C-alpha cells in the first residue's frame, strides 16, 4: 500500500502523539500523597475507609495510590497529620475512636494504635513538635482533650477542659474545629451555642451563638485560657486555621457566609481584624492557608465552589483573588466539605466533595493565588468523603515559612 505525503504526515504525527503520551505516562512524578476519608457505604467495612492518591507534580492530577484501608472505625469525620508527615490520625464518630496510622514513604498506611473517646470526636490537630494530639469531642457538650504522643503513638490524656460560655454554663455547646499555632504556643477551638442558635428548633439562651476558645500550652502541656477567651465568632463557626507566622487566626461562619479574622496578641489573646468580617460563598465549611502564608482557600458547601483570598501581610486582611481566567466560581463537584493545599510545591488545591463522592483539584498560581481546574478533575472516591489531607512524597522538600 502506498501513502501520499498527507497520509504520511498524519501517520507520523499520530505515532508521535502515542509515543509522547506513553513517555509522559512513564515519567509521572509523584509530588504528594493525598488521603481521603469516606464515611458512606452499604457493604461490610465500607462505612470507614481511607483512600490514597498520588498527585502528579506537573499537572496536579490524582491517580490511585496505595491500597484503600479501613479507618479503624466507622463514620470518619476528621484527619490530621504530624509536621514530619510520618503519622496520620483519624477520628471516627460512630464508635468514638481516634486511630493512629504510620505513613510509609510510598504512601502505604499501617494501623498502629487506637483510643476510645468518652464522647463523639469532631476534629483533630497535632502540635508542630509532634508531642501532643488535640481532640475536640461532644454533640451536646464540648471538651478539648490533649493526648501525649510518643513516636506517633497516642498516650494518656495529659490535659482536658470543658468548653463553656461564661454566664451560660447550662447552654449546649457544639464544637466544630481545632487549630494549633505553628510555634506550638496556643491552641484554638471553634464552637457554637445550640441553646442560642438552633434553626428549626427552640432556643433558650440569649448568648452570642459563635465562639473561639483560646488556650496557652504550657511547657509540660498544661492548658490555660488566654486573656479574654472565649471570643465572639459570628453565628455558627465551622472551621479554623492560623497562618504560619503566628500572627493571624481565621474562622469560617457557616450561617453568616463570612470569613472572620483575628490578630494574635501576646500570650495568644485574639483581637478582631478591624475591617472584617469578609464575604464568602454560601455555607463555608473548611479553610486552609497555603504553606507560604500568602493565600487563603475555603470550601463553600452549598455553592460547590472554592473562594480564594490573598493575605495583606502587614494587617492580615484577606482580599478576594481576581481570577486570570475571568471566572470567580472555582467550581467543585457537589458539596465540598474539606480542603487542603499540598505541601511539597504548594501549587495544588484539593477538596473532598461529600455529595459528589469525589475530589476536585485545582492548580494554584503562586504569583496571584488564582485557581484553574486540574487535569481530569474531579477524581472518584468512596461514598460520602468527609476529610482530606496531603503529605509530601519522600523525595521532595516542602514549602515552609519560618516564623
CA dist., res. 235 & res. 237, Å (int): 6
| The pLDDT of residue 397 is above 90 | no
DSSP strands (E only) in 183-276 = 186-193, 210-217, 223-225, 231-232, 237-242, 248-253, 258-264, 270-272
Instruction: Identify the band that residue 324 occupies on the pLDDT scale cut at 50, 70 and 90.
Output: low
CA angle 254, 256, 260 (to 5 degrees): 80
What domains appear along the chain, each with residue ranges and CATH number?
A: 7-392 (2.130.10.10)
Instruction: Identify the band that residue 313 occupies on the pLDDT scale cut at 50, 70 and 90.
Output: confident
Contact between residue 335 and residue 383 where contact means Cβ atoms under 8 Å apart: no
CA dist., res. 359 & res. 377, Å (int): 8
Looking at every residue in the chain, the average pLDDT score rounds to 90
Among residues of the chain, what percentage have pLDDT more than 90? 83
pTM for the complete prediction? 0.90
Model confidence over 235-254: pLDDT tens digits?
Answer: 999 999 999 999 999 999 99
The CA distances from residue 198 to 168, 174, 194, 301, in Å, are 16, 11, 5, 19
Report phi then psi at 17, rounded to 5. Answer: -65, -40
Among residues of the chain, what percentage have pLDDT more than 70? 87
What is the model's pLDDT at position 338? 98
Contact between residue 158 and residue 200 where contact means Cβ atoms under 8 Å apart: no
| The pLDDT of residue 59 is above 70 | yes
What is the model's pLDDT at position 41? 64
Instruction: Identify the band that residue 47 occupies on the pLDDT scale cut at 50, 70 and 90.
Output: confident
Higher per-residue pLDDT: 21 or 61: 61
CA angle 151, 156, 157 (to 5 degrees): 115
According to DSSP, the β-strands at 284-289 and 305-311 are unpaired
Contact between residue 346 and residue 362 where contact means Cβ atoms under 8 Å apart: no
Residues in the chain: 403
Amino acid at each position: 500500500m502506498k501513502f501520499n505525503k498527507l497520509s504520511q504526515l498524519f501517520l507520523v504525527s499520530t505515532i508521535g502523539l502515542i509515543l509522547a503520551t506513553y513517555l509522559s505516562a512513564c515519567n509521572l512524578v509523584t509530588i504528594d500523597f493525598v488521603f481521603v476519608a469516606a464515611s458512606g457505604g452499604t457493604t461490610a467495612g465500607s462505612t470507614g475507609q481511607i483512600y490514597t492518591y498520588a498527585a502528579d507534580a506537573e499537572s496536579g492530577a490524582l491517580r490511585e495510590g496505595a491500597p484503600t484501608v479501613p479507618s479503624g472505625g466507622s463514620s470518619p469525620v476528621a484527619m490530621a497529620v504530624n509536621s514530619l508527615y510520618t503519622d496520620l490520625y483519624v477520628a471516627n464518630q460512630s464508635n468514638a475512636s481516634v486511630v493512629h496510622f504510620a505513613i510509609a514513604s510510598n504512601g502505604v498506611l499501617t494501623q498502629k494504635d487506637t483510643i476510645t473517646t468518652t464522647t463523639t470526636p469532631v476534629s483533630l490537630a497535632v502540635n508542630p513538635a509532634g508531642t501532643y494530639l488535640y481532640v475536640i469531642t461532644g454533640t451536646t457538650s464540648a471538651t478539648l482533650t490533649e493526648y501525649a504522643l510518643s513516636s506517633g503513638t497516642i498516650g494518656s490524656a495529659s490535659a482536658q477542659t470543658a468548653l463553656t460560655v461564661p454566664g451560660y454554663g447550662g447552654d449546649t455547646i457544639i464544637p466544630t474545629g481545632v487549630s494549633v499555632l505553628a510555634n506550638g504556643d496556643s491552641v484554638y477551638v471553634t464552637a457554637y451555642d445550640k441553646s442560642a442558635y438552633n434553626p428549626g428548633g427552640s432556643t433558650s439562651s440569649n448568648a452570642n451563638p459563635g465562639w473561639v476558645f483560646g488556650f496557652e500550652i504550657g511547657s509540660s502541656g498544661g492548658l490555660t485560657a488566654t486573656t479574654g477567651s472565649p471570643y465572639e465568632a459570628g453565628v455558627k463557626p465551622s472551621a479554623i486555621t492560623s497562618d504560619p507566622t503566628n500572627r493571624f487566626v481565621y474562622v469560617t461562619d457557616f450561617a453568616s457566609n463570612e470569613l472572620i479574622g483575628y490578630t494574635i496578641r501576646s500570650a495568644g489573646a485574639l483581637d478582631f481584624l478591624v475591617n472584617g468580617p469578609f464575604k464568602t460563598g454560601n455555607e463555608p465549611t473548611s479553610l486552609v492557608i497555603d504553606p507560604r502564608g500568602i493565600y487563603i482557600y475555603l470550601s463553600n458547601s452549598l455553592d460547590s465552589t472554592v473562594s480564594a483570598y490573598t493575605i495583606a501581610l502587614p494587617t492580615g486582611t484577606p482580599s478576594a483573588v481576581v481570577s486570570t481566567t475571568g471566572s470567580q466560581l472555582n467550581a467543585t463537584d457537589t458539596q465540598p466539605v474539606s480542603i487542603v493545599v499540598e505541601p511539597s510545591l504548594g501549587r495544588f488545591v484539593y477538596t473532598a466533595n461529600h455529595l459528589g463522592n469525589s475530589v476536585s483539584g485545582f492548580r494554584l498560581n503562586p504569583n496571584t493565588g488564582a485557581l484553574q481546574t486540574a487535569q481530569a478533575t474531579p477524581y472518584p472516591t468512596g461514598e460520602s468523603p468527609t476529610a482530606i489531607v496531603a503529605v509530601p512524597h519522600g523525595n521532595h522538600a516542602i514549602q515552609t515559612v519560618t516564623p
